[in-house]
Structures are given as structure tokens and as C-alpha cells.
Structure 1
Amino acid sequence: MEFHLLGMVTVLAHGHPVDVGPARQRCVLAVLAVDAGRVVSVDRLVERVWGDEPPLRARQTLLSYVSRLRQALVAADAGDVVRRPGGYALEIDPSAVDLHVFRDLYTRALGQTEDATAARLLTEALRLWRGQALTGVDGEWAEAERDKLERERLAAQHDLADTRLRLGHGGQLVVELAARAAEHLLDERVAGQYVLALHQAGRTADALQHYRQLRDKLVDELGTDPGPALQDLHRRILAADPGLTATPADVAVAPVVVPRQLPTAPGPFIGRHGELDRLDATLRDSSNERAGVVISVIAGAGGIGKTWLALHWAHRHADRFPDGHLFVDLRGFSPDERPMNPEAALRGFIDALGVDPRRIPSDLHAQAAMFRSLIAGKRMLLVLDNAADTAQVTSLLPGSPTCSVVITSRNTLSGLITAHGAHHLSVGVLVDVEARSLLTARLGAARVDAESAAANALIRLCGGLPLALSIITGRAHTQPHLSLAAFAAELRDSGLDALDDTDPAASLPTVLLSSYRVLTDEQAAVFGLLAIAPGPDIGLPAAASLTGLSPGRIRTVLRGLEQASLISQDEHGRYRMHDLVRACAADAAAGQLPDDEREAALRRLVDYHVHTAHAAERLLNPQRLPIRLDRPAANHGLEDLADEAAALAWLTAEHHSLPALQHLAAAQGRYDLVWQLAWAFNTFYLRRGLFRERLAAWRTGSAAAEHQDDPAVRILARRLLGHAAAYVGLHDEGVEHLLCALALAERTADRVSQAHIHQSFTRVWEEQGQYRRALEHATQALHLFRELDLPVREASALNSTGWYYARLGDYGTARTRCEAALESARRHHHRELESAVLDSLGYIAHHTSDHTRALDCYGLALLGYRESGNTNYAANTLDRIGQSHAALGQHDHAHAVWGQALELYRQQGRAADAERVQRQLETLGHASHQGSVQ
């Protein structure tokens, strides 16, 4: 079977044409034949057959065309059209399709070192043309494809002419080139070929006359002189250069060139063991030639050490590539130069391979084909450094699986990953140990050890960014009389300015801004807003609120910033940027974003956090008396949290930003939002045992509440501040705030607040071991809640009285109170309160020697705490469970649960509790050892 595309679209089976139907059907077959053996998607087929306006039932019509084509081809034993995942493919040997044979011959010709062989292959390729390509097929795609194929044909004709001229065949080409020159009047390459052919034919005067005519025409019509190549040819003809009349005997075979272009790797190289292992793994993959060309993309922010890593790895494995190493700095993000054109990089590679410049075609695609031919089958390493995007490197990729490619870029080059199966390697900052090793390697162990604290400060301020560390160590190296503490102080005081320099290569701001400059206006605006947003990271909905963009749009913009290595996304879907990158972006935003836009963005962000945190708090503690919020400035990004688990997840992710959000709201003069943020995070902080964070939130919130006219707000803030102070052992401060709140509540006859304040007092006295006074306040709270008909609060106060009776040794009264509280908690479906009461009942059972019942109660309480995410109370209950197991002689169980309690206490920063449990574990271990000895 043969398939003619370079002329009439004709299928020949056993020498006879096969009828493939009407024009649209022939178009389907032509599209499949151009990509013979490869899958063409249905969407692409529809687009190429009908253009931008397909009929309503285009897919069904396409299916009909494909069915008829299959019947015709199969019946003639001429091939088949098969359905594959994603589309259709024409099953035919590419060597039976004239277009693919033409391209194969052309590529082979470009890779030849002997002009005679190249001329033969090009002549054979051009003989396959039978006229205009795709004759008989209409439509936009066919027209565009015809133009493309005609350009390929013309390029082959030009290359054949160049090749034959180098062989000295100009006399045989005069007529052909005269016609071509007349058709392409201003094409300097054709003109040069015609001039050289005339000269080789002995018609030098005619050659010079044609040059003058062309020069005059260029000046008259384009206002320009001939290009350097044509001017050089003119000069050589005038000088009677014998090289222009070479004969086949004069043509020498170029020597084999083995390029070794790798620059010296920057030193010293520290760490990166995981990254090196991953690159080694890709090198092992390259031994499997069926896997194709192995491409590794090393991506990361500016100054992160991508080139450092790539060159170190390349030198370490240089011996694996005996046929040569090619290197190019593509200047994709160079601060003082434009990105290199692919043509220039490709020409540099071809020159490095020793190709005669006269044999290098001018067309980029032809050059790429020549390059692939030159390195086909060779074991070579290509390092493409500082690539701007996928388009810049595509033409530089080899076609031979014996080659390996390492590319560095600030972009992820997702197109290479998708289209070429490239391996992606993300490079992050150095960990502290590696950063210290870098300082030591550059400055010496004696100097670093002598100022260990200052060295640690430098490491922290540089954030593990290798370029920042290298800049600082470079200055310290050239200024040995200055202490490391002085450099740390400068970096602390001046921030990013301390890492600036007149030399772009030694200026971190210049390096970082080179990434900023290539962003779109939208990306730059979002990047700047992210930099001024409070907190260490940000979620997608918060980013939507900040920027005022829809969730879908902001996701796209963030993906672009992530691909540019300016931000990163963690496993929870939150975005963050390096502190030094943030400083650079903030500086850029200050100069680009108007003040009113930044202010509006930050107001939206605070509104988002207040309203979402309030919704989360209502899910965690629905029985708590709500507060009233003003409407948000905008609805962008406001979340609808589905349940308690979603609320806990959101609060867990966002609580690190709370201090900065409160200070931001205060700076905006929105004092109501400051205390509302503390209120909304209160239950979360209690459940997670984050007592110092809670205290800080309420100190800020209470100060803001003093700006409010509503006394209820000031009472609430003082009460919760006093309660928070008591939780961290600041009893005097706690009493002071609670007494202030109680006095104001009594003055305003706020009985609900009075009840809550008495409940808060119980914590103050319990922390000091004054259980009698705690019981008195719990009793007053109980009476007030009962009078106010707040049954859940009454049950909570009832449990408190039971707890303090138990702490005073009156276990009968304690049990009665707690059992009544349990019944009320279950009646009102308050799971959190139910767990607290069960914990109290477990304590009572334990202290009345009913340890089995104690374990049952504690177990139910622990289950409830874990379901609600209350790790604070869960730690206390685990501690008590261990005591019951120990009392029963179940030392292994006691050891296990005390170990869990110890871990939680440490996570929560509860040092005294952690030390106590540690002592219990040591005592338990000693007792177990004594028992085993006996």
C-alpha cells in the first residue's frame, strides 16, 4: 500500500487507486495520514475537517466518515482506521506515506557530513512531490497544511541548491535558480544561490550585475541593503575567492568533534542528597532506550541553587557521556539580558559539533532536524540552564534515547512534563544543618564556631536560600575584620536591601525581580497582594477574598505563580512564599498597587476570616451565645463549612494568622473585628490546649474592646481574658480581669455575664488548689443559669459542682450532681458536655476504687473528645486512664496511655503536666522492674 499526500490525496493498493469518498471524507483520511500511526483526537479531527463552525452533529458525521473509510481501506487490503483512547489512528507503515518518507529523507540529509550523500537524499526526497500537496482536499486546515508543506518543499529545494553549489555544480543550476529568483524577487538566500551559480558557470559579470540589481531593489522597496551573507558573497566574488568554485575533490570531511562545554560547578556543594538521588534514578532510566529521551527539569525560585545542583550532578556523571557535553545559558530570567532565541542556542550546538557553517540551514525546524541527526545514537549530555519556558527548549531536545537532558528553570515547564514525559524535580531551601555547613565551608569552622549565635541568626534570616547565604558569606570573606554579628544585624535591620549589590549576580533583589518582571499584570497584582497578606500562608478561598477574584480565576493565577516558583503549595492546598521573596514582592507591590486597592483587599481578607471563623465556632460550640457581625465588604471566597470536622480543619489551618489579622484589623480602626476574631477562635484554642495563643488573642481582643461603647462587649472580653490568664497560671492577673468584668456586669445588671464570670472564677481557684472557693463560684453560676432558664449551661455548672465536691472528697454528692448533669447533657445532645461529665464520673469511680467503671467512663469521654478534636481534655483523660490501669496493675496499658498523654502535653506546651506524667512513667517502669525481679 502507498499513500500520496504530496500531490493528489490517493491511496494505492496493489498498484490501484482506492476510492476514499467525497472531499470531507478525504480530509479525514488526510488528517489521519499526516499523523500516521499516532492517535488524533476527535476534537482535532472535527476542527480540521470543519474549522471553527462545525455542523450540529459533527461527531456523528465524523463517525460515519470513519466507518466508510474503514470499509474502503479494509476491503482493498490497504490499511485500517482504528479507535484508540482519545481518538482515531490510521494503521499504516509511515514508510508507505510519501510525506513521511520525504521528511525522513530530509532529516537524514541534514545529518550527513558528506555533501554528495546529502544531495542524493535531498534529490530523492523532492522526487516524491507530484504537484501541490493535498490536492482534492478543501477547508481551512488543508489550506494551512498546504502552505506549511510548501515551505518544507522550498526549504528542501534551497538546501539541495546549497549542497550542490558546495559540490561545484553551479553550471547545472543556473536555469533552475534563474526561475526561482524571478519567483522570489527579494529572497536573499535564493538570490545568493543564483549569483553563486552564475559565478561557478563562468558568468561572473552576470553574477555581479544580478547582485547590483537586487541591492537597488532592496534599497528602493525596503530601504535596506543586502544582508551580511549576501554582502560577504559579493566581496568573495570580487576577490576571486577559490573556495567559491570548489569541486567534489576539494570537499573535505569534517573531523569528529567531541564538545566538552560544562562550566566549572560552583563550590562548595552542600547537601541535596535526595535531589541527587532522584537525578541518578533518571540516569538509570536512560539506559532503557525504549523509554525515549530522559529529560529532567530542575525547577525552583531564583537563588535556590538550580544551576549549582545541575552542574554538580553533571560533572559527577560526565564519564557516562563519552560523546560529549553541551551546555547553554538560555538567559530565561537574566536580570540584564533578554532570553536567548532558540535559533541562537541551536546554532551554538551545531557549531560545537563541528559542522561547516555553509551547511547549516537557515530555517529553525531544519536546524533542529540537523541537530537531532548529528547526535543520533550518541551518548551525550545536554544541560539547558535558566530556561524561560517550554517553547525555548523544544527545538533543542535530541531525538535519540542515548542522550540525557537536564534543564533548569524557575518555571515548572509543565509542557515538557505533559508532552515529553520529563521528570520534574522541585528544589527547595537548605535545611539548617546544610545552611550551617555552607557557612562553615565558606568561612571556616573556627570563625563560625566562635560566633555560633550570630551564625544561627544568619541562617534564620537567610531562610535557607543558597544565594542569600552565598552573598553574606562572600561579604564576610572579603571583610574578615567584621563580625558575623554585624552582618546579622545589618540583615535584620535592612532586610532585603542588605542583600543588594551593584553586581546583578550578587544581588538577591535583582535576581528575584527578574522573575517578577515576566509576570502578567494580573499575576503581578496577585503576587503583590499575597506578599502583604498577614500570616505565613493562605488558602484558596482567602486568596479569592484578598484579590476579589473568583475561586476559579484565582486558582489559575496561583497556578501560574506556582509554576514560576514564586509560591509553593503544601499538601493541604495552602500557598506560601519564602520570606525574602515576600519582601521583594511587597516592595514591588508598594510601587505598583495603589493604596486604596491594597486597603480594600486587606479589608476583604479580614472580613473573610471573621465571618468564616464565626461560622466555624458556631459548628464547634452551637450552645454558646452568638455574637452579631456586620455584613462583609464583599462575598468573595466566603466559605460554607459543612460540619464540625470542616470547621476544625479550617481553624487548624488559619489560627497561625490570627495575631497578624488582629493587628491588621486594629490598624484599620476596626476594633470590633479584633475581639470578634478572638471570640471566634476561643473554643478551638481551648480544645487544642493552645493556652498561650489564646491568652495573646484575648489580650489584643480586650484592648480593642475598650474602644467599644457596648458594656457587654467589654465584659465578655475581660471575662475571657481573665479565664485565659488563669489557664497559664497567671492567677492574680486572672482574678483582676474577672473582678473588673463582674463589677461591670453587676453595675449593668447583666445576669448572664455574671453567671459566666462565676464559672470562669472556678478555673482560677482550681488552679491554686482552692476547691472550696471554686465550689462556691460554681454554685453561684448554677443558681444563675437555673434562674435564667439556660439548661445546657445549668448542666455544665452542675457538673462543675460535682467535680469540686469530688475534689473535696464528697464522692456521693459528686456522683449525684454529675449523673444529673449527664442526663441533661444527653437530653440536649451536647456531646462535648457529655464527655466532660463522663470524665468527672470516671474520676469519682477511680477514687472510690471502682477502677473498672472508671475505665468505662473515661473511655467514653475520650471517644467524645477525639470525635470533637478536643486534644486538651483528651490529654487529661488519657492521664487519668493511665492512673486507673496502674491501680489495676495493668502496667503495659498504663505505659501506653501515659505515653500518649505525654506527647499531647508536649505538643500543647504544658510543661508542668508533661513533667508530672514523665515522672509517673519512670515510677511505673521502676515498679515493673521490681515486679519482674521478684
Structure 2
Amino acid sequence: MEQLDLDRWHASYRKLEILLADRGTLTERAAKPRRPTRRGPAPVVPAQLPADVVTFTGRSHQIGELDELLSAGPAGGAAHARPSTVVISAIDGTAGVGKTALAVHWAHRVVDRFSDGQLYLNLRGFDPDGNAMNPHEAVGNLLDAFHVEPHRIPASLDAQAALYRSLLAGKRVLILLDNARDSDQVRQLLPGTPGCFVMVTSRNLLTGLVAANGAHSVTLDLLSYDEAHRFVTHRLGADRTIAEPEAVKAIITACARLPLALALATAHAATRPTLTLGMLAEALADRRHRLETLAGDAPSTDIEAVFSWSYHTLTASGARLFRHLGLHVGPDISASAATSLAGVSVSSVGPLLAELTLANLLVENAPGRYAFHDLLRVYAAKTAAAEESDEQRRRATRRMLDHLLHSAHTAALLVQPTRERLELAPFEPGVSPENPAGQVAAMAWFTSELPVLLAAVNQAATTGFDVHTWQLAWVLTDFLERRGHWRDWTTVAQAAVAAADRLGDPAVQSRSYRLLGYSYIRQGQFDEGLTQLQRALVLYQQLGDLTGQAYIHLAFTGIRERVGRYADGLHHARQALDLYQETAHVAGQGNALNSIGWCLAHLGRHEEALSYCRKALGLHQEMNNRYGQAQTWDSIGFIHHDAGHHPEAVACYLRAIEQYRELDRFEEADTLVRLGDTYDEMKNATAAQEAWEAALVILEDIGHPNAVPARAKLETLAR
């Protein structure tokens, strides 16, 4: 035992000698920093991205835009020399437009560019329970992703955010912040140093993040038709879509090209092999039950529930306007019309429209005009049916129809100051009709509102507003005629006749029959036109309405002229003149005098014809009736042409065309054809060709049968 202890002592002493023999003393070595003998845990590299959508299609433009943002760096610097913050927001469609799908898909494409990890956080900005994630919880989740020990996490939010930024400093991390409610929810989550790339998705337009933090906005609209078709094909297979192409088209239309709706529709078809695409299209065609057809088995895939999450974030006034917009039948609505629809003040509607736009429940598709896609329209209408009483919905509809009728009546009198005025009922309280400033503005107003006005005629006819139906049709007449909307003219005139017959008022019936007769005549359907005009004449005679009878005789003149019966036409024109003179209807007298001159010219009585037309021109000039002046200059031009006075004819035709250009496309084309005829007789082939080509462009654009003889003139000239 003693020998063993001695051996241990010698061994320890020998180790001490070796240590002392070293050049560095123990003290010197203690002064140097020690390396830990035990290595700590490896740095955490989070990989939190959700799974990619295997069937993702489309969005090539937005993907390219994101690629460019990632690659772009400051001048002379590396691509990662500064942080980039991207806000992906839906311009149209909001919920269900595919913001998250795009963000996740693109993130997987570039995941190898971010070696220090990928963070994902659902901020729950629009969850149905309204429990959006607060910044404190959000920062805590991000710190957890890096496995920060609890004792290292400070108590205050600012300190936690500072720690989070410190962890990101110098790293390449991709951060996807999904479903943000607003800019404030996001700001504390942005890195403070270059190197990271942040994507934020939101149903709201995060303008504050763009303005204050330099975020770039990547906008998402509905899929294009081709993208939607590829979407359906990828989900269902080419064989199935090729077999039923029309059904595929109908499904895409019913789903409004909204990705979530298309995903739900194709899921129905994919999980039901016996369900043909035609059967699915038929189910989706029923707008009343379309949302139910597109319901999924979870709130996040139930399109109505998804829409509701955005709706329930609105203020009470914003929600009310959204519901009322669901009662509007047009493809879009002006700010002024929205004021009347909701029955609110002009000053308050702007902020409400801005609220809906920022929530992406509405899009300003043109300055001052707003729209949402068809599925949101269906949802808004359904919400209105559930939350507004029958009386509230009817009053809103009445306000909208009043707005359109009174605005259109004002515009119609600017388009044609000599036309008949209607005795309109007072508009409802809360209605603010529009007042275009002049004829040009009135034509522009009709152009913008035409789809709305046509839809309103149908809405009025199907909801019991018969007076609005025929009056809206009546005030639309001049614009539809002058812009060549022949089929629309006939459609609204037929609605007017049906409404007039329901009302049983002979004065209304006579006007409506006359309106329909005019539309038939314009399209060359003379037998149908004559039938309607004769029905109107009988009622005018029973009512003792001399002016109404004069209108009919002048229309009879037009029919006779168009079939070459100028002597008969002259007879009716003279009857019309006598009646107009008896009632002191000056504008009517001008029109009748011009028609008499036109018929006389075709009968070869040029001097007499010129006398009548000059009298007509004087009356129209006294009344500043530009349309009447244009018609009369055209007649005088023809008189000179037929008499062989070609330079005088050209001068008159050019004056007519100048005025028609702003007033009536068909009449402009008609006069251009006659101008070409005069140039042709003058042996000026180039001028004739130019006039006929200009006429043909207009006639083909408005779909008028006179395009055929105009094209034949050009072909003859070419030969």
C-alpha cells in the first residue's frame, strides 16, 4: 500500500515538472481565453412553410414580379444588400383569390436562396372568431421558431421585437406573414437589417405598409379565362374537359374565375365520378343556390363563410352599403348612384366606398366607378335578403331606379332638346340625381351608364316598377338610336310595351307602341314597325292627341321612303306638317318640312324640294336643333347631288357629317355613303374610297345591314 502511494506521488510530481517545463506558465495560460470543451446546440434553421399546392397554375406575371424583386438590389450592390417587403393584396375578388397559394408556391420555388430558414405565421386577421393575432403573440411565436429559451425573452413587446431583429441580423431568412389584418399588425415583425425577404398577404390594401415601410404591392386579380381553363384541366384531366367544353366554359363563368370557387367546383366533380360537368354547370347556373353548391366541408373552404369573414370586419354603415350594392343590377356603379342607392349624403358615401375598397370587397375599376365580381354580388344580395326587410330592399331599389330615371331624363333632353318631356313622379328622399353639363357630357354619361340602364329596365319590369320600365325605355331612345344599339332598343321597347299593357293607360300604350315601331323601322323590319305604329295611331285618335298622330304620320313617311314609295311618303309628310302646325309644334314642323323636301327630291322636283328644306333648316337653326340641322344639310346635299351640282353637294354633306359625328353614328355613316357616291360621280376615286371605307367601319361596328351595299361599292371601285 505504501509503495502504491509513493508511485502515485511520483507520477503527479512528474506531471508538474512537465507543466513547469513548458514555455508558457500556468498564469500565462490562465490569461488566455479558454475554448469551451463542450460545443453548444447547433443554430436552429426553421422550415415552417406550408406544403406547396401541387396543382398550382397561372399567376406567371406575379411570379415573375416576385422573382424580379428578389433578384433586384441597390445600384452596385448584391441582391441581398437590402430587405424587401412585399404586400400581396387582391385587387378584385379578395377572399378566395389565391393570395396564400401564390405566396407559398413562390416561396417553395426560392427556398434554396434562404439558407438560414423560412418562417411562416398565420396572423388570423380575418378568422371567423375575430381573434386576430396580436403583435405580442406574433413576436413570441417567431422567437419560439428559433428555440429562444424562455429566460432570455424579455417582458415588453418592444424588447421582444428587438431580440427578434437581433436574431435575424446578418441572416438570409424568408418570412411569410399570412392573412394580416392591417399594417400595424405587421410592423413589429419586419427585420431591421438587410438580408431577409418578407411577404405579407392580406385582404385589405396595406397602404400604410407601402407608404411608411417602402413595401412593394403585388396585385392579384381574378384568373384570366385561359388560366382558369388550365386550372380546371389540371384538376380534372384533359380527357374530361375536352369531352364537355361548353360545360367547362359555364363552370368558369359561374365561378367568376375565382380560384377558391374553381377549386371547390372541381373538387365536387373530382369526388363524384358519375357527376358530369354539364350537371355541375347546371347546378351552378342557379344563382340563388350557387354559394351552397360551392360550399366545402370546412369554414376555410366554404366560400360563403370566407366572404363573411371580410364582411364582418366592416363598420355598420359600410356593411349596409355592401348589402345595398347587392341589390344593384348593373355591372358597376358610380359613386353618385351609390349615394342614392344607400340613401346617404354625398359627403359620407366616399369614405364608405373607400372602406369597401380597402377591404377588397369592392374595386374601383374606373375613376368613380365601382364593381365586384359575380360571386360577391350573389353573397351581397343574399346578405341583403337576410338582414334587410322586404320594405327596406324595395325602397333601396326604388331609390336606384329614381336616380337612373331622373338622371337619364335630364341627359336625354340635353342630347335632343326638342324631344318630348316626361312628367316624372318626384324622386324618393335620399336620391341625388346627376346633372350632366351639356350635350357632350350627356352622351358620355349615357355611354358610361348604358349597361346599368339596360339592366335597370329589366329589373324594373320584373319587380313591379312598370312606370319606371316604360319611362326608362323612353329616355334611352335617342342615345340607342344615335349609337346604333338596335337590338337593345328593341329589347327595352318590348319591355315598355309589356309594362304599358299591364298599366292599361292608353297614353302610355300609344307612346310605347310608337317606340317599338321606331326600333323596327330602323332595322328594316317594316311590316313589324307598321303594325306597332298603326296600333299607336288608333290610340292617339281615340285620345284626340294631334301631336301624337303627327309623329305617326312622319314615321309612315319613313317607311314609304325606305321602300321607294315617295309619293305616298309625301302624302304622310304633308299630313304630319298640318298636324304639327295646328299644335304649334315647331320642332315637328321642321322635321316634316325636311321630309317633304326629301320626298320631292326623289320625285325630281329639286327647286321645290330645296325650298322646303331651307325652311326646315331655318326652324332648326332658330331652335338650335343640331340634329335637325344635320338631317336637313344631308337632304340639301342630296338635292344638289341629284341635280348634278356636285361641289355644292359635297359641301352640304360635309356639314352634315361634322354635326352627326357627335350625335348619330348611323346617320353619319349614311351620309358618308352618299358623299362617296358624289365623289364617285366626280371621278374622284380616292375620295370616294375613303368615304365608303369610313362608312363601312361604322356600319360593321354597329352591325347594320347597310354594311353589305357599302362593301359592294368598294369592291366595284376596286375592280
Which of the five TM-score ranges fits, normalised by the shorter chain?
0.7 to 0.9
Partner Cα separation in structure 2 for residue 355 and residue 383 of structure 1: 20
Q: Does 1:903 align with 2:690?
A: no
Q: Does 1:364 align with 2:157?
A: yes
Q: Does 1:750 align with 2:540?
A: no
Report the CA distance shift for 1:380/1:774 in structure 2 as closer, same or farther (over 3 A). farther
Among 273, 276, 282, the residue aligned to 1:480: 273
Q: Does 1:864 align with 2:654?
A: no
Q: Does 1:303 align with 2:93?
A: no
CA contact (8 A) 2:411 2:435 kept: no
Deviation at 1:335, TM superposition (A): 4.3
Partner Cα separation in structure 2 for residue 441 and residue 921 of structure 1: 49
CA contact (8 A) 2:318 2:352 kept: yes
Q: Which amino acid aligns with 2:577?
A: L
CA deviation vs aligned residue, 1:844-873 (integer Å, no higher than 9, x gap): 3444454443333222222212234x2232
CA contact (8 A) 2:135 2:185 kept: yes
Deviation at 1:573, TM superposition (A): 1.8
Greater relative contact order: 1 or 2 (C-alpha under 8 angstroms, separation 6 or more)?
2
Partner Cα separation in structure 1 for residue 154 and residue 715 of structure 2: 81
Report the CA distance shift for 1:707/1:475 in structure 2 as closer, same or farther (over 3 A). closer
Matches within 5 A, 1:450-599: 450-493=243-286, 494-599=289-394
Partner Cα separation in structure 1 for residue 703 and residue 144 of structure 2: 65
Deviation at 1:262, TM superposition (A): 2.7
Partner Cα separation in structure 1 for residue 186 and residue 126 of structure 2: 14
For the residue of structure 2 that corresponds to 1:295, the secondary structure is strand
CA deviation vs aligned residue, 1:441-467 (integer Å, no higher than 9, x gap): 222222111111111111221121111
Among 390, 409, 416, the residue aligned to 1:614: 409
Quote the residue 1:874 is aligned against.
668
Q: Which amino acid aligns with 1:815?
A: L
For the residue of structure 1 that corresponds to 2:45, the secondary structure is coil
CA contact (8 A) 2:417 2:625 kept: no
After superposing the two structures, state which structure 1 stretch, 777-786 or 655-664, moved more. Answer: 655-664
Q: Does 1:600 align with 2:395?
A: yes
For the residue of structure 2 that corresponds to 1:532, the secondary structure is coil
Q: Does 1:270 align with 2:57?
A: yes
Q: Which amino acid aligns with 2:88?
A: I
Among 782, 788, 793, the residue aligned to 2:588: 793
Deviation at 1:489, TM superposition (A): 0.9
Query: Percent identity over the alignment?
Result: 40
Aligned CA RMSD, in angstroms, stands at 2.7
Report the CA distance shift for 1:887/1:352 in structure 2 as closer, same or farther (over 3 A). farther
For the residue of structure 2 that corresponds to 1:608, the secondary structure is helix
Q: Which amino acid aligns with 1:298?
A: I
Task: Note the residue ranges of structure 1 that are not aligned, 5 or more in a row.
Answer: 1-246, 928-934
For the residue of structure 1 that corresponds to 2:326, the secondary structure is helix
CA contact (8 A) 1:468 1:508 kept: yes
CA contact (8 A) 2:210 2:216 kept: yes
Partner Cα separation in structure 2 for residue 321 and residue 837 of structure 1: 77
Partner Cα separation in structure 1 for residue 148 and residue 35 of structure 2: 18
Deviation at 1:595, TM superposition (A): 2.3
Among 420, 444, 463, the residue aligned to 2:237: 444
Q: Does 1:258 align with 2:45?
A: yes
Report the CA distance shift for 1:879/1:447 in structure 2 as closer, same or farther (over 3 A). farther
Report the CA distance shift for 1:252/1:845 in structure 2 as closer, same or farther (over 3 A). farther
Report the CA distance shift for 1:265/1:829 in structure 2 as closer, same or farther (over 3 A). same
For the residue of structure 2 that corresponds to 1:867, the secondary structure is coil
Aligned residues: 678
Deviation at 1:302, TM superposition (A): 0.9
For the residue of structure 1 that corresponds to 2:481, the secondary structure is helix
For the residue of structure 2 that corresponds to 1:426, the secondary structure is strand
CA contact (8 A) 1:254 1:355 kept: no
Report the CA distance shift for 1:585/1:862 in structure 2 as closer, same or farther (over 3 A). same
Partner Cα separation in structure 2 for residue 443 and residue 841 of structure 1: 66
CA contact (8 A) 1:285 1:291 kept: no
After superposing the two structures, state which structure 1 stretch, 575-584 or 852-861, moved more. Answer: 852-861
Deviation at 1:741, TM superposition (A): 1.2
Matches within 5 A, 1:363-442: 363-442=156-235
CA contact (8 A) 2:356 2:362 kept: yes
CA contact (8 A) 1:286 1:401 kept: no
Deviation at 1:561, TM superposition (A): 0.7
Deviation at 1:431, TM superposition (A): 2.1
Q: Which amino acid aligns with 1:841?
A: I
Deviation at 1:885, TM superposition (A): 4.5
Among 822, 827, 830, the residue aligned to 2:622: 827
After superposing the two structures, state which structure 1 stretch, 462-471 or 352-361, moved more. Answer: 352-361
CA deviation vs aligned residue, 1:316-349 (integer Å, no higher than 9, x gap): 3334444433222222223467323333332232
Report the CA distance shift for 1:861/1:447 in structure 2 as closer, same or farther (over 3 A). same
Q: Which amino acid aligns with 2:253?
A: R
Task: Note the residue ranges of structure 2 that are not aligned, 5 or more in a row.
Answer: 1-33
Report the CA distance shift for 1:551/1:894 in structure 2 as closer, same or farther (over 3 A). farther
Report the CA distance shift for 1:723/1:259 in structure 2 as closer, same or farther (over 3 A). same
For the residue of structure 2 that corresponds to 1:464, the secondary structure is coil
Q: Which amino acid aligns with 1:909?
A: G
Quote the residue 2:572 is aligned against.
777
Deviation at 1:491, TM superposition (A): 1.0
TM-score, normalised via structure 1 length:
0.68
Quote the residue 1:312 is aligned against.
105
Partner Cα separation in structure 2 for residue 398 and residue 888 of structure 1: 79
Quote the residue 1:656 is aligned against.
451
Partner Cα separation in structure 2 for residue 264 and residue 327 of structure 1: 11
For the residue of structure 2 that corresponds to 1:706, the secondary structure is helix
Q: Does 1:814 align with 2:600?
A: no
CA contact (8 A) 1:727 1:763 kept: no
CA contact (8 A) 1:544 1:637 kept: yes
